[in-house]
Amino acid sequence: MADGIAPKVKAVIMKTRSADETNFYNIAQRPDTIKLEAKDDLSGVAAIYYSVDEAAYIEYSKPLILPKGLHQLLYYAVDNVEIGRAHVWT
């Protein structure tokens, strides 16, 4: 049964850092771990996909460790009825 609602998805940084106003994530000192989480109370989450620095999207399976530097993280989740939502790291 289609629920018509995309999953809610967010990125959780394992240390305190923030994106700048252009939605780029600056890792200045050392690599940080970023965990992606998604929730869909109606049909459940089928998968989360992400892209770093405009690379092709790949399926998320474990926390990400980004190297030092400025990075753009794009991500979205798809539920079990294949409704998805894209996000830019904020």
Say yes or no to pLDDT of 7 above 50.
yes
SS3 (DSSP) at 67: coil
Give the per-residue pLDDT at 61.
96
Question: Which of 15-19, 39-43, 51-55 comes out lowest in average pLDDT?
Answer: 15-19
Q: What local confidence, expressed as pLDDT, does residue 1 receive?
A: 45
**Burial of residue 9, with CB atoms counted within 10 A of its CB: 0-12 exposed, 13-18 middle, 19 or more buried:** buried
Per-residue pLDDT reduced to its tens digit, 56-80: 999 999 999 887 778 888 899 998 8
CA distance 22 to 83: 27
**pTM for the model:** 0.72
